[in-house]
């Protein structure tokens, strides 16, 4: 007897296999009965969590993975339900997604676009994942997003801050909850002007790759609009570990603010070096010399140690927020793992929840239906206040946090304090300013 393999792995996994024999094969990219790539047909659905497990961002990846495991637990009805209790949409029941138990596969992006795509492809081709999420850099996010567009699955970006992800490289199958460089600049500038005055001279050190360029651009434009002057902007190689030769000339330039457009290991080292040079003890133009880090994360703050004290930056979310959503998330994460979640963990958890909710509301796992449910979706209770998933570029619009390194931390997690929650209206921009073409959604098959 023969059997048509119409629906890929789902059928096989449930064991509904009639028996051996000569099969009548089909070509799945041509018209087959499956409506879209990896349509789940059994009692479970597989999600792919693609995070850096080796390389410099491994700790961030580990935190993302913890968040995903927590999200899966909550979706399947375990634990305390976490953010499902505070989420404004009540479509999720705690019985999996559309009654299907949520299962997951994990992979290692190595923070390299090739490895990330290989891992994502294996999830799609081998494990039958219907959604890919995670990642810790914009290079990886853009590469995997393009892959998911081609393969016909949904991509829910993890930590990626470059404007490109939902700007010039946006794709119809890709969605980003995290904020971006533009929003960082727009949120930071008024706070900087309030604290440091409007007649500052800024010196930029910029990581020499796409994310660095967009961040420098964003901070420059928004601070210059406040009256600041940009004295110089120097690009530093990604592989640089010792920034002394870039920091030493800063004082000579007559600048009185140093902006470090660096992330990860670069940021830890450049900030450490800048503080080492004693820049913050100096008086230039009769003003205290200041340092600014546009994008902060708690793990980086931990790496830089005491050097972050008093330094301004922006962040997507912080565990010390006091709204109901944030408190609920910190409680269930903290109870399970013993320490508060990072912003990477938060955005990944929220992305998984938003995806599940969109599937429930759409009543289908079809990427096109899910995308439609996410586009223009307004929600609340996820920790960032009222949020909009904008239809034009699949970017979330929500409040942005401006934070400062805490002077007297009480624990190794208590490193940042919230200075201001910049309202969403202040960081919203026109969807067309970064170019790019969203295209139309691709369900695969």
Partner 1 sequence: MFGLDKKDFRLLLLVAVLVVLAPFLLNPFPEGSAMAQFNAGYPDLMQRFVIFGIFAIGFNILFGLTGYLSFGHAAFLGVGSYAAIWMMKLLTMNVIPAIFVSVIVAGIFSLAVGWISLRRSGIYFSILTLAFAQMSYSLAYSVLTPITGGETGLQPKVTDPRILDGTLANGATPKANLFGLEMGSSFEWSVGGWLFTFNAGYYVAAIVMLVAFYMSIRIFRSPFGMMLRAVKSNQQRLNYTGLNAKPYTLAAFVISGMYAGLAGGLMVAMDTQVGAERMFWTASGEVVLMSILGGVGTLIGPVLGAGAIKYMENILSKINKEILHQWFAFMPDGIEDILVSLVYPFIGKGWHLTLGIIFMLVVIFLPGGLVEGGQRVARLFKRKKPAEDGPDGKTTPAE
Partner 2 sequence: MEAIILQILNGLDKGSAYALIALGLTLIFGTLGVVNFAHGALFMIGAFCAVTLSRILTLSHTVVDDTQTDFLGNPLKVDVPYVMDWFGETTGAAIIDWAVPLSILFAIPVMIAIGVIMERGLIKHFYKRPHADQILVTFGLAIVLQEIIKYYYGANPIPTPAPAAFKGSFDFGAMLGFDPNIIIYPYWRIIYFAFAAVIIGAVFAFLQFTTFGMVVRAGMADRETVQLLGINIDRRFTLMFGIAAAVAGLAGVMYTPINSPNYHMGMDFLVLSFVVVVVGGMGSLPGAVAAGFLLGILESFASMREVLAVLPGLNQIIIYLVAIIILLTRPRGLMGRKGVMEE
Question: By the criterion CB under 8 A, which residues form the site for partner 1?
Answer: 3, 5, 8-9, 12-13, 15, 17, 19-23, 25-30, 53-54, 58, 61-62, 105-108, 112-115, 117-119, 121-122, 125-126, 137-139, 142-143, 146-147, 149-151, 162, 164, 169, 208-211, 213, 235, 237-239, 437, 439-440, 442
Instruction: State the nearest-atom distance from the C-beta of 137 to partner 1, in Å.
Output: 8
d(CA 308, CA 339): 20
Q: Which residues bind partner 2 (CB under 8 A)?
A: 55-59, 208, 232, 234-237, 239-242, 244-246, 248-249, 251-252, 265, 268-269, 272-273, 276-278, 281-282, 284, 299, 302-307, 319-320, 330-331, 334-335, 339-340, 410-411, 413-414
Instruction: State the nearest-atom distance from the C-beta of 133 to partner 2, in Å.
Output: 21
d(CA 250, CA 291): 11
Sign of the alpha-carbon torsion through 203, 111, 67, 160 = positive
Q: What are phi and psi of 186, to 5 degrees?
A: -65, -35
Q: What are phi and psi of 419, to 5 degrees?
A: -95, -45
- In the complex with partner 2, which residue's Cβ is closer, 31 or 408? 408
- In the complex with partner 1, which residue's Cβ is closer, 53 or 347? 53
Indicate which of partner 2, partner 1, none lies near residue 180 (CB less than 5 to 8 Å, by partner kind): none
Instruction: State the nearest-atom distance from the C-beta of 243 to partner 2, in Å.
Output: 9
Counting Cα atoms < 13 Å in the Cβ hemisphere of 41 gives 19
In the three-class reduction of DSSP (H, G, I as helix; E, B as strand; rest coil), residue 14 is classed as: coil
Per-residue HEC secondary structure of 291-327 comes to EEEEECCHHHHHHHHHHHECCEEEECCCCCCCCHHHH
Which of the 8 DSSP states describes residue 342?
Answer: P
- In the complex with partner 1, which residue's Cβ is closer, 291 or 369? 369
Instruction: State the nearest-atom distance from the C-beta of 217 to partner 1, in Å.
Output: 13
Pairing relationship of beta strands 387-389 and 378-379 according to DSSP bridges: antiparallel
- In the complex with partner 2, which residue's Cβ is closer, 195 or 276? 276
- In the complex with partner 2, which residue's Cβ is closer, 1 or 283? 283
Indicate which of partner 1, partner 2, none lies near residue 73 (CB less than 5 to 8 Å, by partner kind): none
- In the complex with partner 2, which residue's Cβ is closer, 35 or 238? 238
d(CA 165, CA 268): 24
Question: Which residues are paired to 261 by β-bridges?
Answer: 206
């Amino acid at each position: 007897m023969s059997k048509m393999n119409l629906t890929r792995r789902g059928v096989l996994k449930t064991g509904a296999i009639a028996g051996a024999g000569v099969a009548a094969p089909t070509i799945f990219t041509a018209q087959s009965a499956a409506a879209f790539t990896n349509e789940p047909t059994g009692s479970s659905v597989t999600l792919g969590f693609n995070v850096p497990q080796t390389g410099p961002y491994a700790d961030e990846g580990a935190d993302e993975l913890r968040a995903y495991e927590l999200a899966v637990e909550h979706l399947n009805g375990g634990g305390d339900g976490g953010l499902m209790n505070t989420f404004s949409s009540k479509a999720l029941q705690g019985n999996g997604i559309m009654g299907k138990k949520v299962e997951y596969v994990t992979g290692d992006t190595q923070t390299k676009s090739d490895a990330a795509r290989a891992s994502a492809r294996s999830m799609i081709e081998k494990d039958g994942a219907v959604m890919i999420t995670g990642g810790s850099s914009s290079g990886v996010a853009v590469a995997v997003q393009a892959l998911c567009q081609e393969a016909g699955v949904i991509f829910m970006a993890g930590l990626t801050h470059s404007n490109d992800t939902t700007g010039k490289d946006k794709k119809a199958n890709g969605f980003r909850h995290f904020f971006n460089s533009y929003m960082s600049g727009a949120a930071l500038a008024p706070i900087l002007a309030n604290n440091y005055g409007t007649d500052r001279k800024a010196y930029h050190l910029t990581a020499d790759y796409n994310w660095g360029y967009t961040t420098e651009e964003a901070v420059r434009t928004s601070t210059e609009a406040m009256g600041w002057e940009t004295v110089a902007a120097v690009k530093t190689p990604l592989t640089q570990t010792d920034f002394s030769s870039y920091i030493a000339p800063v004082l000579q330039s007559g600048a009185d603010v140093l902006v470090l457009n660096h992330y990860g290991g670069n940021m830890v080292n450049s900030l450490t070096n800048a503080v080492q040079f004693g820049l913050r003890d100096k008086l230039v133009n009769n003003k205290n010399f200041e340092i600014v880090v546009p994008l902060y994360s708690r793990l980086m703050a931990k790496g830089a140690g005491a050097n972050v004290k008093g330094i301004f930056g922006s962040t997507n979310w912080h565990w010390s927020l006091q709204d109901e959503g944030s408190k609920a998330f910190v409680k269930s994460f903290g109870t399970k793992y013993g320490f508060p979640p990072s912003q990477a963990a938060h955005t990944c958890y929220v992305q998984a929840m938003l995806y599940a909710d969109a599937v429930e509301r759409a009543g289908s796992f079809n990427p096109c239906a899910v995308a439609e449910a996410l586009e223009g979706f307004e929600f609340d209770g996820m920790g960032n206040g009222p949020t909009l998933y904008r239809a034009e570029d699949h970017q979330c619009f929500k409040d942005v946090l401006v934070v400062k390194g805490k002077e007297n931390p009480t624990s190794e997690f208590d490193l940042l304090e919230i200075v201001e929650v910049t309202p969403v209206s202040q960081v919203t921009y026109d969807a067309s300013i970064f170019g790019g073409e969203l295209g139309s959604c691709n369900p695969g098959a």
